[in-house]
Amino acid sequence: MTAQAELEADQTETMTVREAIREALREEMRRDEDVYVMGEDVGRFGGVLEVTGDLFEEFGEERVRDTPIAEAGFVGAATGAAATGTRPVVEIMFSDFMGVSMEQTMNQMAKMRYMFGGKTEMPVTVRTTEGGGMGAASQHSGTVHAWIAHFPGLKAVAPGTAASAKGLTKAAIRSDDPVFIFENKMIYEREGEVPTDEDFTVPLGEASVEREGADVTVVATQRLVGESLDVAADLEGDVSVEVIDPQSLYPLDTDTITDSIGKTGRLVVADESPLSYGIHAEVATRVVENAFYSLDAPIQRVGTPDTHMPFSPPLEQEVLPDGDGVRAAIERIT
């Protein structure tokens, strides 16, 4: 690499998570004509949470397609389109709506390559929003990524920073496998430094150590990455906290997490999904399987206590996992 290229590769720009995803879509649509976006109100309207924004102006209605409100139909169509040579990027407005399209997701998209003995590619990307915090109540606030991470044949990513939002989105679109991107709607305005190199991607299955520490490892996803970093900064001097963003839920970077436990001996898993049978359990199990003798304290989980997301603000705040919960978990084991 020339000195000039190296300099360019290192350049970053400050942008929000929302802008980072939009730029990832823009760059990939410019790079590959077979990439197009489809979903409810993604076109002229720009997306209900404004992620697709001005893409319609640049690419037009063929490549930024408004669909009927019919998730089974358009997720199924994206599956058939991906099997026959194009690379659709589908937006499901709220992840709670994924139930409508689950048949096409679990029985077609996830299984076709395998059932056909590998004789099809499935380059489809599904973006959707998750999370409580805006008073949207139970049918617009769910965190369901464990469904997809659990289901064989699908890959799942969940960005926590602007850089990973851009890098994961680009990697997902370039992948020949179905990849779901779970965007927490409360961090769309979160800013961060994002590499400007058009070939910057975050490979699927690679975690990011967002802060190094020696006493306890916090594996945090989505909104809880930033909140855990704030807690780590607050505790500096008392407790040295390592914060890892797995970035990719499936495949999951077991090595980065277990290496960290080898150093700290303590684990907190912070993820907004319901506590039972989910991401927390998977991270904990991998640590127990691979780093059991390094553990010095019981593993702690921070998540939604198996309720739906209620509407009224005091109720929502009661069940929504946050930095205070991460801090309390750290304090219990250090």
Burial (CB count <10 Å: 0-12, 13-18, 19+), residue 314: exposed
Q: How far apart are CA 5 and CA 200, in angstroms?
A: 13
Q: What six digits make up the tokens of 126?
A: 């599904």
Site membership for another protein, residue 113 (CB under 8 A): yes
Residues 133-152 that bind another protein (CB under 8 A): 152
* 16, 86, 196, 290: residue in contact with another protein (rule CB under 8 A): 86
> Does 150 qualify as catalytic in the annotation?
no
Q: How far is the CB of 310 from another protein (least distance, A)?
A: 29
Beta bridge partners of 216: 241
Q: Give the residue with the Cβ less far from another protein, 77 or 275.
A: 77
Choose, by CB under 8 A, the member of 132, 205, 226, 323 that binds another protein. Answer: 205
Contact 210, 229 (CB under 8 A): yes
Of 27, 28, 71, 210, catalytic: 71
Return the half-sphere exposure (C-beta side, CA atoms, 13 A cut-off) of residue 197.
14
Q: How far is CA 140 from CA 128, 131, 135, 183, in A?
A: 11, 8, 9, 13
Is 140 among the catalytic positions? yes
The secondary structure of 87-119 as a DSSP string is EEEEEESSGGGGGGGHHIIIIIITTHHHHTTT-
Sole binder of another protein in the list 1, 2, 6, 119 (CB under 8 A): 119
Within positions 254 to 313, which residues make up the interface with another protein, using CB under 8 A?
254
Between residues 176 and 199, which has the closer beta carbon with respect to another protein?
Answer: 176
Q: Which residues are part of the catalytic machinery?
A: 71, 140
Residues that bind another protein (CB under 8 A): 34, 36, 62, 67-68, 70, 72-86, 88, 103-104, 107-108, 112-122, 152-153, 155, 175-177, 204-205, 250-252, 254
